[in-house]
Structure 1
């Protein structure tokens, strides 16, 4: 028997599917005009959005939300303006729809072209990240798709306010409001229904903690693009420049702690550990970062008299995405040991090596099997915006369809156009 929630979510998905052709018919200039109008509306109504967010923050504080998660949830007028700017950035990007991926003329005269087309209806399931509401809606619109959003109960009021602003702009431009629909009010049952909405929803993208992603990947009947958790690593190699390593590590860990590209495990080559570890620990301690260190790292830090809070690392620490002022630290014997550690504990998101040895750099870049692999750079650059994609819809850690930061092209599909002149197959 169909429950009220089932009916409501399927109706929302059906409405989005019926609305999508209106968007697919728009030219780039029309889509960009809508995106810029959405950005303006968000800035104009920022007070309304921030007030709604305050209700979510009050509930989160009462529930004892972790600092990193609270940071993701929080909005102020400056952050709303930054979210609006992401829409303007998306408007400035080339329109992927209609782009010719490849083409040829066959010997028999048939003309072939593979072109980019909208996905259709994109479902997003995410947690306590109001910015994703706008990013996903804006990118979907630019890529010609409707979107069904489920942003979690923790951000219910924030997401409702944001979606209300965006839908009002659609209506003002004579577009169906159901190009953007939210199903937060239907809770976990709503997610279950969305995962079974095959035929109405073309792809489902989960973005959040490991539990959420695993639940969607293991239970969805709708095709899924998996965005993984960020158990990111930095290796300070034997040849690393300590003066360069310190600001990179501090930036990767502390610039924003509650995001998937923040540093979670620091590996230090034994040859440089006695020099580098105390230098790294000092600014991390000033930033309030607690170090979960292995025996070798603790011994070096104790001998140096570091002011950092240091606790023994457990087996769980090597697999934990803290999203907090916590950092796992290990001393590794050599590059081989570092690569083995990363292979065992990485979630395939982002890893970086700090080195002046070109051979070590080349080995690391070639052998680490993550979506983004870096040399001499902070993991915080693993981001669609930083890559020049505009607002990203997530960072895919799988290998099919898309991998790494997903911008406009990654949320399109393709089709083949075949033009003949009365051809029949012999």
Structure 2
């Protein structure tokens, strides 16, 4: 019977064959211990000389790291293993012998590991991070599908900037200028006017020359947009969504969180509702914490976000930022027009902003004023104005950065480990 490591629990006491790679090995006298991986998980194969014969035992001891092979043996329970099972090996068949695999069990420098990212992905911790990323994606689809959202795919090539920024990758689109998308939001607003509740999931690009541990040049965004929803309605969706994703990872990625030595007690507290603090109160809190230079009207940096998050044991919404430091499309607070109906969701433990969201301007005249104030081209944004011209409604939306969310949930320090092949300021290889 051929199976995978993730399925061996079905075959306790039975003999099965697994196609695998040798991650590591050690031997002790007449017993060899093979650390096997097949992409679905890791399992230990125990090779006993008296059971397998001298020739096959010698072959097992001589296997090199990352050699591919078929391993046949009996599955037994093993309470000492976090996985809970191991294989009593009866036979080995080498498929391809690997030689001089560059990433050994010893410590390696970060740049070396990044240069060998295509091979580093095979390691146990990197495997765990990618499995957690996959679970977040799976849970995202489940949450939005179960709540009546339609997935709509916005274009990656656009003729305009979503937020009026200059940090865009430019290309030629035949005889026109085009840009790699930094957000699908404007297109999702159009989709929401057609389908009510929508979400997108795709790559976005920021030509921001930043080297911090929180930034990537290419990253993935989940961007829901909802017609007939105000700012408060959107905050409830956001906290329920994040809570659902975190609890799904806790339930379905126990082995992976263990492999990363993640403190799950912090994640267990992540259940809606989340605390809210206004921008005004956040300024006061920062001054109390010794940030004497921060003034009203300034945006928050990583140290500010971390200091605010330390006051709470759950993610926290910072609401109602000054209009001057936020995007042109955000709706002003009707009771205080110098601030907008928006919120950033700040993750605990110093991981910073993972969601930015707002209620969008739905009034045509006000949006035209914003166009003029921000110097936006009427031709390029004509279609976006028309969303306010033909049956405009209150609507809200938000964007969650996948990689920052993976870093937080997995407890990974640097965002570069949360995407299979990171694109950073000085890295386009491999």
TM-score, length basis structure 2? 0.26
TM-score by length of 1: 0.27
Larger Rg: 2
Larger RCO (alpha carbons 8 Å, 6+ apart)? 1
